[in-house]
Amino acid sequence: MGINGPKSRATALVARFVGDSKANIATTFALALLPILTAIGCGTDYSMAMRLKVKLQSAADAASIASISVNSAGYAAAMAMTSDGSVTAGVNEADNIFKGNASTFGGYTLTSETSTVTKTRSTLSSQVQFTAAVPTTFLTVIGYQSITVSGSSSSSVTLPLYLDFYLTLDVSGSMGLPSTSAEAQRMQAISPDNYRQYPTGCTLACHFSPQNSACTDSGTQGYPTNNYCLGYAISRVSQSGYKSLLTTNKNNPKGVQLPSSIVSGLPNSLYNKLPTVANCPTDGTDDCIQLRLDAVGYAVNQLFTTANTTKKVANQFRIGLYPFIRYLYSYYPLTTNISGSTSDSSTINYAAANLATLLDTNTNASLGSGGTHIDTALSSVNSLITSVGDGSATTNTLPYVFLVTDGAQDPQVKGVPNGSWSGSNHATTINPTTSCTPLKNRGIIISVLYIPYQTINPVNASFAGDEDDYANNNIPNIPPSLQACASPGFFYTANTPADITSALNAMFNHAVSEAHLTR
């Protein structure tokens, strides 16, 4: 018993321990401790990995956005591309931005990073993808040395479109009328043109400047002008100065006359005598009388200002001036240089300011003379536009035609220079189906600015085959014909010089916004 006694006691002790229910708690705790510690460690390691993923995701977001931002190298490179595809400069920029931001913090190993920047028509898109390994601390106990995190970020932007604007400008006789009723009254008070037919003052003949049968001393003029239509010349000089030249002569229908020394040398003798302007951008000044085309020219220059402030990239807009009478004339073809000076004769700005110099003088063979041939102008501009792109590149421009007119189609013709009249002088309207539909069928937007034709009053039914009544009766037909010509939503009306400026700017802004919505 002496030998077996201790063993028996040990056995009994174990039996008592096993049988004691209190010992089960300790056993359970010991068995559960490892998975509890593993779970805690897993949560800690996972939280750390997620925090790093958020930081890496933020770096990816910044890279995808910045690589296609307006001031980025990728954006500039995409705008210079003439076809779709990968934008290498954008890819490099995205990579550098991601890695630069990601290098500001540690605790991970970047296993992969891929950036793609692609131009598809007018859409520039960027995607940045990453994968990283975050080392573990507690999970190594169960064999996990790291946690893999990944993410991606995508961004896109609509690129500015390259647009061409063909300003198709009516420079026929009626666009040489004064721009407002007040300006008309100033002109009527002193102009001698066609006074015997129209004692209330000059109407359509004011635009003719050379000597011709419209303004004969023996048949039409209110005072001698050496058979010279004087309305345009009067509109370019000081009004108080011109009035001071007139002296009383009750033998003339208008009761006044110019000095014979000036009459014999018109118009240069008048220009040499008085302060003269090349154009008249403002109505109501003593310097000049503003004509409709002066107001249009001023408005076109304001459109250039709008275009310059609107453009997002260089050379985004090309604008050209295409006036017409009998023919369409490439007065100033498409150009991106629209920020010149109105006093520099080499610029489109100068050309626009001086639109009134193109009024029908029966001397410009490029424009022709007589009537208003809107249908011919639209057909010609359709031929001028050789391709219709989607605006995604400088070689794939989207064209717009801006038609600025009073809408009175007149098919008559006068030979240049000093030729005879032919064709009907009875005003009518364009046929939108034949004149405008061919352009619209090609995807060309036509934007029309209607400057309302003014009623002739009083009417001289015996003059020129009663063209006055035909012109007046035609006025209600003009707006519907022009509205049918315009693309949907692109018909505008302007009655005053301020209206013309506002309307042309609205037309431009409408074109830019519409292009983005539909392309």
Q: Output 500 or 181, whichever has higher pLDDT.
A: 500
pLDDT of 212: 63
pLDDT of 155: 93
Mean pLDDT of 11-28: 59
Tell me how far apart the alpha carbons of residues 319 and 322 are, in angstroms, rounded to a whole number: 10
Q: Using 50, 70 and 90 to split pLDDT, how confident is the model at 168? A: very high
pLDDT of 75: 92
pLDDT of 358: 93
Q: Output 517 or 133, whichever has higher pLDDT.
A: 133
Residue 515 clears pLDDT 70, i.e. is over it: yes
Q: Using 50, 70 and 90 to split pLDDT, how confident is the model at 42? A: confident
Tell me how far apart the alpha carbons of residues 275 and 264 are, in angstroms, rounded to a whole number: 19
Please, are residues 485 and 403 in contact by the beta-carbon 8 Å criterion?
Answer: yes
Residue 17 clears pLDDT 90, i.e. is over it: no
Return contacts of 116-119, CB within 8 angstroms, 24+ apart. 116/86, 116/91, 117/67, 117/68, 117/74, 117/78, 117/86, 117/87, 117/89, 117/90, 117/91, 117/93, 118/84, 118/85, 118/86, 118/87, 119/78, 119/81, 119/84, 119/85, 119/87, 119/159, 119/392
Please, are residues 256 and 249 in contact by the beta-carbon 8 Å criterion?
Answer: yes
Predicted confidence (pLDDT) per residue in 406-421, tens digit:
999 999 998 888 788 8
Q: Which range has the worst mean pLDDT, 154-158, 286-290, 501-505?
A: 154-158
Q: Output 37 or 326, whichever has higher pLDDT.
A: 326
Q: Which residue has 């990453």 as its token pair?
A: 130
Tell me how far apart the alpha carbons of residues 81 and 122 are, in angstroms, rounded to a whole number: 11
Please, are residues 126 and 95 in contact by the beta-carbon 8 Å criterion?
Answer: no
pLDDT of 270: 95
pLDDT of 1: 43
Of 56-60, 122-126, 219-223, 509-513, give the range with the top mean pLDDT. 56-60
Predicted confidence (pLDDT) per residue in 187-223, tens digit:
888 889 888 877 777 655 455 556 666 788 888 899 9
The whole-model pTM stands at 0.83
Predicted confidence (pLDDT) per residue in 226-258, tens digit:
988 888 899 999 999 999 999 999 999 999 999
Span 163-177+291-518 CATH architecture: 3-Layer(aba) Sandwich (3.40)
What 3-state DSSP class applies to 358?
helix
Average pLDDT, rounded, for the chain: 88
DSSP 8-state assignment for residue 357: G
- CA geometry: angle at 478 spanning 300 and 297, to 5°? 15
Tell me how far apart the alpha carbons of residues 446 and 206 are, in angstroms, rounded to a whole number: 30
pLDDT of 210: 61
Mean pLDDT of 108-119: 95
| Structural tokens at position 513 | 């916004």
The set of residues, in sequence order, having a beta carbon less than 8 Å from that of 116 and lying 6+ positions away, is: 86, 91, 126, 127
Closest CA to 406 of 502, 296, 307, 256: 296
Tell me how far apart the alpha carbons of residues 46 and 44 are, in angstroms, rounded to a whole number: 5
Q: Interhelix angle for 497-518 vs 292-310, to 10°?
A: 40
pLDDT of 14: 55
% of the chain with per-residue pLDDT over 90: 64
Mean pLDDT of 255-268: 93
Residues making up the chain, counted from first to last? 519
List the chain domain ranges: 55-159, 163-177+291-518, 187-273
Q: Interhelix angle for 73-80 vs 88-102, to 10°?
A: 170
Residue 435 clears pLDDT 60, i.e. is over it: yes
pLDDT of 308: 96
